[in-house]
Amino acid sequence: MDEGAKKDLVRQLRRQSLWLKESWIWLLDTKVHPSKKGKCTKARPKALDVGCGPGFVMDVLSERLDVRGIDMDPDMVSMCQARDLEVVQGKAENLPFDDGEFDIAYCSFLLLLVHDPLKVIKEMKRVSKQWVLALAEPDYGAWIDHPEGLVGLGRIITDGIKASGGDPFLGRKLRKIFHDAGLGAEVGAHPGVWDISQLREEFEGQRSLVRVLAGSQPKKSELERIEHVWEDALEKGTLFHYNPIFYALGEFR
């Protein structure tokens, strides 16, 4: 990934952490680590953020979890360490930690990018005592846009992710992956239908995301046509967009 694309990725990860912050906290407080009258009933669980990137999810969850991180990209590790986050370099498929070293192992926006997501979940299960969490995995095959001139956008994105070695349909596979790893999982979707004001606010960021995900697959003229339809629908207030982002919570004892 070139430097420009990596900067776009970091910006996107920051935006995603802002969108999903309240939903993640709700999952922890109601499903994973219940609290009573707003106060945790236990000490902060030890957690591992697998594929932590620049550490934005660690920032969100650090008040509730004692979090360490791991990422294979040395630039991402350096970004985290510069902010005093406890992060090491390593691969999700071969975690350099002891069996049961953590109470919780979690990841977000990772499984769609790795070669063997089942192996990653099995490794997360190995290093955890109780919980394996996939906090956010999108399914770009279920990308919905309106008006009709935007219909090809989802195909462009899925083709681009496939070309880069990822799985754009990972979200719908979470239950099977957890099952094959020996974990029953509660699977759900985060809220994700924006009103028109937020669609307008997020336009530039979403356009950058589409360009990163599409890679070199579409012709420039095709993207420009779609962006014109997109901007026109925003101006008229008729744009609709939905891309489901799923979570899976696997508990064992």
Q: How confident is the model at residue 207 (pLDDT cuts 50, 70, 90)?
A: confident
Q: How confident is the model at residue 35 (pLDDT cuts 50, 70, 90)?
A: low
Residue 107, pLDDT > 90, answer yes
Could you tell me which residue, 43 or 87, shows the higher pLDDT?
87
What is d(CA 110, CA 132) in angstroms, rounded to the nearest whole number? 13
Q: How confident is the model at residue 61 (pLDDT cuts 50, 70, 90)?
A: very high
Of 112, 208, 111, 118, residue with least CA distance to 168: 112
Q: What whole-number percentage of the chain has pLDDT above 90? A: 73
Residue 100, pLDDT > 60, answer yes
CATH topology of domain 3-251: Rossmann fold (3.40.50)
Mean pLDDT of 160-169: 92
For the entire predicted model, the pTM comes to: 0.91
Mean pLDDT of 229-248: 95
Mean pLDDT of the chain: 91
Q: Which residue has the tokens 């629908």?
A: 233
Lowest-confidence region among 99-108, 139-148, 150-159: 150-159
Lowest-confidence region among 26-40, 83-97, 103-117, 161-175: 26-40
Q: Which strands sit side by side in the sheet containing 87-89, from one edge to the other?
A: 87-89, 66-71, 46-50, 102-108, 128-138, 245-251, 185-189
Query: Would you state the pLDDT for residue 216?
Result: 67
Domain boundaries along the sequence of the chain: 3-251
Q: Is 40 exposed, middle or buried (0-12, 13-18, 19+ CB in 10 A)?
A: middle
Amino acid at 101: E
Residue 159, pLDDT > 50, answer yes
Mean pLDDT of 142-152: 91
Over residues 69-82, the pLDDT tens digits come to: 999 999 999 999 99
Q: How confident is the model at residue 39 (pLDDT cuts 50, 70, 90)?
A: very low
Query: Would you state the pLDDT for residue 40?
Result: 45
Lowest-confidence region among 64-68, 130-134, 203-207, 210-214: 210-214
Residue 217, pLDDT > 70, answer no
Mean pLDDT of 113-137: 97
CB of 14 within 8 A of CB of 56? yes
Residue 91, pLDDT > 60, answer yes
Q: Is the previous residue joined to 74 through a cis bond, with omega within 30 degrees of 0? A: no
Residue 93, pLDDT > 70, answer yes
Query: Would you state the pLDDT for residue 38?
Result: 45
Mean pLDDT of 12-35: 90
The CA-based dihedral angle spanning residues 114, 80, 205, 245, taken in that order and rounded to the nearest 10 degrees = 40
CB of 38 within 8 A of CB of 70? no
